[in-house]
Chain A
Amino acid sequence: MANGLGCVRARNQHLQPQNMKIAPSYRTIVALLAFPTLCTLTQLLALAADTAQKKLVVGFSQVGAESGWRTANTESIKSEAQKRGIDLRFSDAQQKQENQIKAIRSFIAQGVDVIAFSPVVETGFEPVLQEAKKAGIPVVLSDRAVKVSDPSLYVTFLGSDFVEEGRRAANAVAKLTGGKANIAELVGTVGSAPAIDRKKGFEEVLSKYPDMKIIMSQSGDFTRAKGKEVMEAFLKAPNAKEINVLFAHNDDMALGAIQAMEEAGIKPGQDIKIVSIDGVRGAFEAMKDGKLNVTVECNPLLGPQLFDLIEKVANKEEVPKRVVSQEGVYDQAQAAAELPKRQY
């Protein structure tokens, strides 16, 4: 109608002159102040219980809690620190590099003795590592590496060799199929070091076998849900029948894919051979049931090895630049025996 534009917010104009009272806001300000005060109190209590004595202070920045592997890794580090009486400042980056940089910078400000971290991605840590170096705090890398122009920015790197894991997986595939394979690949989170390196190592070996080729490849983000969903899509492709091997960049995705296969009436481990990486407990259970063929171990229990290194570094002892964690390749035959040892 004619007054189509008017009236819409007419009510606002008819508001009575606002009371200029400030009284209610005082109340809210008090409420606001109460919150941090409460935090302070609880924290003080916690501190009081924690009798401060001179301990080795280590700051550790973890990637996140994105997979079973990662939480096992976290557990191992935390429990080992507790066992050794080390004051561990643990920070979870929630898969965000920016959080990790913040944490490292904060460790520097806190004046910890050693900084250790598992980088979310390889690049971009140079400036903050330089700060650490300037502050004289040694840095130990765990699980994943960083790309830096100046190798003196970190003291040592403890972790698996992802490329090697990829190679091992490819060799396992070759052994399973006699060098003839049409492979579906579940790639890890795009851009992450394990995904890049595992693919690299895998393809490196693949180039030696002319009859082994990847016919489908898609990211499953290292998660079970995505692994399952992507596998479902793989199995609907017209050339799905040709797939005889699944290579998953981690066990979680493989476990998701196994479910998809079972729903499709395909026998995982037989109709389609499955090779994955990590070696978590779930994978061993699946192997025991014959649903998974090979898992290439990527040991998450880095705690003891890590703190050995850290203590050496703190005591200014000489350590090698690269320490590869000890890990193996397991197949179904070994699964039953190995399973009880897997607590994660």
Chain B
Amino acid sequence: MTRLNPKYIPLLATALVLLAVFSTGSLLYPNFGTPRVIVNLLNDSAFVGVAAVGESFVILSGGIDLSVGSMVAFVGILVAKLLQVGWDPFLAMGIALCVGTAAGVVMGGLIHYFELPPFLVTLAGLFCLRGLGFVIYPESIGIDHPFYGQVLPQLSILVAPKAVLPFTAMCFLGSVIVGTFVASFTRFGRNVYAIGSNENSARLMGLPIGRTKITAYALAAFFSALGGIVATFYMQSGNPASFAGLELDAIAAVVIGGTLLTGGVGFIPGTLMGVLILGLIQQIIIFNGTLNSWWTKIVIGALLLVFIVLQKLISGGGDQES
């Protein structure tokens, strides 16, 4: 692909916004444009980012997954609880990933086989997983397993003076790479695009609709579960009450990353940028120190609006859902 394809314009716009936001921050505040802040950004956004990679697949397939935040919290408390009762951390994580993915399969199955709206099914998933988290343990559990206390801190790379790339950030970047590969270099990934673009055509082209859809939800659940594990790395605890509303951040990041909410168009690296933009806005507001936190919401809302209108302009105003 040599020429500038119009489909890259949203991605380009996202990159420009990312650059603009970052330079704004660097211009305004000392210490903002340092490697440390960048590393922090990756670290702080890791679990949202991992979950957003999964969310991207569902949105690309033309659906939506609202259960992301609950899944992250659920997996967090599950892992913390299992570790508390003395499980091996890898076994606990493995189980958590399996349980999470299974939940995704169930949701995808309901959506596909019974033709239920994704919005409602994953909303039910949101409620269920949140409740289940509280069933496991209603309070925050700290993790003091040696793996978390001693091994994890060593799994980091010094990328610049005073800037250590932690393992969580590596998980995030790894997820983006894996996600990009799956989206662009596997048949499943291409099928997701096809279904999101035009499900009926995809069916008549002989693509496996059911399998692809269910896999997309399973993959989203897998990434959310992974996000939950990353969150336990990040906070060294699990809390069933946490991460409420994370799904909105994830969806916002995906949209700001240039993915069309109707499906079929978008890139995983865009999601990475979208997540970073959200994180940067929050950072600027924290750096400012006098702006109230609600400005975060207002700015994200405004940014969403801008991107939605941009996408609308690029898709030419046609192509409306009937």
Cα distance A71–B241 when bound, in Å? Answer: 22
Tell me if A215 is interfacial: C-beta within 8 Å of chain B: no
User: Could you say which of A32, A101, A122 contacts B234, with CB atoms under 8 Å apart?
Assistant: A101
A29 touches B16 (CB 8 A): yes
Total inter-chain residue pairs, C-beta < 8 Å: 171
Tell me if B28 is interfacial: C-beta within 8 Å of chain A: yes
B6-26: CB near A (< 8 Å → 1, else 0) gives 100100110011001100100
Tell me if A133 is interfacial: C-beta within 8 Å of chain B: no
Cα distance A110–B20 when bound, in Å? Answer: 20
Cα distance A121–B319 when bound, in Å? Answer: 47
B155 → A minimal CB distance (Å): 12
B17 touches A111 (CB 8 A): no
Contact residues of A between 1 and 54, Cβ < 8 Å to B: 5-6, 8-9, 11-12, 15, 18-20, 22, 24-25, 28-29, 31-33, 35-37, 39-40, 43-44, 47
Cα distance A102–B20 when bound, in Å? Answer: 21
Known contacts A31-B306, A59-B289, A106-B40: A149-B144 contact under CB 8 Å: yes
Tell me if B188 is interfacial: C-beta within 8 Å of chain A: no
Q: Which residues of B contact A25 (CB under 8 A)?
A: 6, 9, 13, 310, 313-314
B278-322: CB near A (< 8 Å → 1, else 0) gives 010011011111101110000000110010011001101011001
B31 touches A111 (CB 8 A): yes
B40 touches A28 (CB 8 A): no
Closest to A10 in B: B200
A33 touches B201 (CB 8 A): no
User: Could you say which of B138, B240, B286 contacts A106, with CB atoms under 8 Å apart?
Assistant: B286
* Interface size counted on chain B using CB atoms at 8 A: 70
Tell me if B251 is interfacial: C-beta within 8 Å of chain A: no
Cα distance A8–B24 when bound, in Å? Answer: 46
Closest to B198 in A: A9
A292 → B minimal CB distance (Å): 28
Cα distance A89–B283 when bound, in Å? Answer: 12
Q: Which residues of A contact B290 (CB under 8 A)?
A: 89-90
A191 touches B234 (CB 8 A): no
B140 touches A122 (CB 8 A): yes
Q: Which residues of B contact A88 (CB under 8 A)?
A: 289
A16 → B minimal CB distance (Å): 9
One of A91-99, A164-172, A242-250, A265-273 contacting the partner = A91-99
A36 touches B235 (CB 8 A): no
Cα distance A196–B140 when bound, in Å? Answer: 11
Cα distance A24–B310 when bound, in Å? Answer: 9
B237 touches A5 (CB 8 A): no
B47 touches A98 (CB 8 A): yes
B275 → A minimal CB distance (Å): 13
Tell me if A337 is interfacial: C-beta within 8 Å of chain B: no
Known contacts A98-B231, A101-B235: A191-B24 contact under CB 8 Å: no
B6 touches A18 (CB 8 A): yes
User: Could you say which of B200, B293, B306, B322 contacts A35, with CB atoms under 8 Å apart?
Assistant: B306
B293 touches A39 (CB 8 A): no
Q: Which residues of B contact A35 (CB under 8 A)?
A: 302-303, 306
User: Could you say which of A5, A32, A97, A149 contacts B235, with CB atoms under 8 Å apart?
Assistant: A97
Tell me if A109 is interfacial: C-beta within 8 Å of chain B: yes
A191 touches B286 (CB 8 A): no
B232 → A minimal CB distance (Å): 9
Q: Which residues of A contact B243 (CB under 8 A)?
A: 96, 98
Cα distance A190–B135 when bound, in Å? Answer: 12
B115 → A minimal CB distance (Å): 14
Closest to A105 in B: B40
Determine the main DSSP class of B at the interface with A.
helix
Q: Which residues of B contact A59 (CB under 8 A)?
A: 289
B24 touches A39 (CB 8 A): yes
B140 → A minimal CB distance (Å): 4
Q: Which residues of A contact B303 (CB under 8 A)?
A: 35
Cα distance A129–B171 when bound, in Å? Answer: 22
Closest to B292 in A: A92
Cα distance A196–B137 when bound, in Å? Answer: 13
A36 touches B316 (CB 8 A): no
Of A25, A93, A105, A127, chain B has the most CB atoms within 10 Å of the CB of A127
Cα distance A182–B319 when bound, in Å? Answer: 64
Q: Which residues of B contact A24 (CB under 8 A)?
A: 313-314
Cα distance A123–B241 when bound, in Å? Answer: 13
Q: Which residues of A contact B47 (CB under 8 A)?
A: 98
Closest to A61 in B: B286
Cα distance A84–B55 when bound, in Å? Answer: 47
A98 touches B242 (CB 8 A): yes
Q: Which residues of A contact B242 (CB under 8 A)?
A: 96-98, 121
Q: Could you list 17 A-B pairs, sorted by A, with CB under 8 Å? A: A15-B318, A20-B6, A22-B9, A25-B6, A28-B310, A43-B288, A44-B27, A59-B289, A90-B290, A91-B289, A96-B242, A99-B282, A105-B43, A121-B239, A124-B140, A149-B144, A190-B138
B residues sitting closer than 8 Å to A (CB atoms) are 4, 6, 9, 12-13, 16-17, 20-21, 24, 27-29, 31-32, 34, 36-37, 40, 43-44, 47, 134, 138-142, 144, 149, 153, 198, 200-201, 203-204, 231, 234-237, 239-244, 279, 282-283, 285-290, 292-294, 302-303, 306, 309-310, 313-314, 316, 318-319, 322
| 6 closest cross-chain pairs (CB), A and B | A89-B289, A124-B237, A123-B142, A124-B235, A92-B293, A123-B237
List 18 additional contacts besides A88-B289, A97-B235, A121-B241; criterion CB under 8 Å.
A5-B203, A15-B319, A25-B9, A29-B13, A32-B20, A36-B17, A36-B20, A44-B27, A91-B293, A102-B283, A105-B44, A106-B40, A106-B283, A106-B287, A110-B31, A123-B239, A124-B239, A191-B240
